[in-house]
Amino acid sequence: MTGHMTETPCLQIDAFTDRPFRGNPAAVCLLDDEGDPAWMQAVAAEMNLAETAFVRPLDDGFELRWFTPTLEVDLCGHATLASAHALWQEGIVGDRHPIHFHTKSGILSCTRQGALIELDFPATPVAATDAPAGLCSALGVEPVFVGRSKFDYLVLLESEAAVRAVQPDFRLLGEVATRGIIVTGVSAEPGIHFVSRFFGPAAGIDEDPVTGSAHCALGPFWGERLGKATMTGLQASARSGIVRVRLAGDRVVLGGQAVTVMKGVLTGISA
């Protein structure tokens, strides 16, 4: 892609939901060849969604890169789910064939189990740590536990109600040096094991509607506390979404559904 007019297929897909306008929206751009990172970042800023995914074919799968409106990230669950949904829906990959994405977090495999898409992701377990300066005051909470995963801080609160009631000061929270902050608590709802919310102002996302990659930390965290290997998490954002979690050694299998809400062509000059 070097300075000529292009037409790039682009879909907007709501992930971790079976209904439109719920879950977490992601844009998925289907490339023919390698994209320039500056161009991809400009597209993501234009899309202004939590994540824009760029997919291009390789000999043994697909390259997948994820961008927020302000930066490229190393792992994103909902945009991976959306990308797999797009490849199957558009007939680029056959319904019964698994998809292997080559990413900055290694090879991520996706399979279909009926209406459910399963993502095989690396676990990012949480270790206890002291809360960094400003974290608790920015959240306005007194945590039961604070931990740190490879990417994020995790803050455990005493109840689902406390998680839902959090009203962060996003300016202060954005000063905490981390990709994001997961706030979680045990669920009060039948069939749901834990609830969470995800804040990432430092990455340009005040509150992410449903964060698949956060469940790579939430799965091991709650699995140890609840004594379960299979769980269902609810991300309690305004849009909300359901993430099914299955622990598999040093991997976490995330399950969810996706719905296409828009399909078109991205036109413009590539960089």
Q: Please indicate whether residue 235 or residue 6 has the higher confidence score (pLDDT).
A: 235
State the Cα–Cα distance between residues 234 and 252, nearest whole angstrom. 16
Residues 132 and 244 in one domain: yes
* pLDDT score for 4: 59
DSSP string, 159-224: -HHHHHH----HHHHTTSSSSEEEEEEE--STT--EEEEEEEGGGTEEEES--TTTHHHHHHHHHH
Query: Among all residues, which ones are annotated catalytic?
Result: 51
**CATH classification of the domain holding 109:** 3.10.310.10
DSSP class of 105: T
User: How confident is the model over 79-90, as a mean pLDDT?
Assistant: 97
| SS (HEC) of 119-176 | EEEECCCCEECCCCCCHHHHHCCCCCEEEECCCEEEEECCCHHHHHHCCCCHHHHCCC
Residue with tokens 């800023």: 45
Residues 145 and 218 in one domain: yes
Distances (CA, A) of 130 to 64, 241, 268: 34, 30, 47
Residues 131 and 102 in one domain: no
State the Cα–Cα distance between residues 236 and 258, nearest whole angstrom. 18
* Under 8 Å between Cβ of 168 and 194: no
Residues 178 and 219 in one domain: yes
Residues 86 and 135 in one domain: no
Q: Which domain holds residue 78?
A: 5-120+256-269
Residues 81 and 180 in one domain: no
Residues 191 and 168 in one domain: yes
Residues 87 and 132 in one domain: no
pLDDT at 98 exceeding the cut of 80: yes
Q: Return the structure tokens found at 225.
A: 């506390």
* pLDDT score for 1: 45
User: How confident is the model over 74-102, as a mean pLDDT?
Assistant: 96
Q: Please report, rounded to a whole number, the percentage of residues in the chain having pLDDT higher than 90.
A: 91
DSSP class of 34: P
* pLDDT score for 65: 98
Residues 157 and 224 in one domain: yes
Residues 12 and 28 in one domain: yes
Kind and range of the H or E run holding 83: helix 77-89
Residues 158 and 179 in one domain: yes
Per the structure, the count of domains in the chain is: 2
Residues 174 and 89 in one domain: no
User: How confident is the model over 183-209, as a mean pLDDT?
Assistant: 95
What's the pLDDT tens digit per position in 35-57? Answer: 999 999 999 999 999 999 999 99
Residues whose CB falls within 8 Å of the CB of residue 164, separated by 6 or more in sequence, listed in order? 195, 197, 236
Is the torsion defined by CA of 94, 39, 212, 161 positive or negative? negative
Return phi, psi of residue 57, to 5°: -75, 145
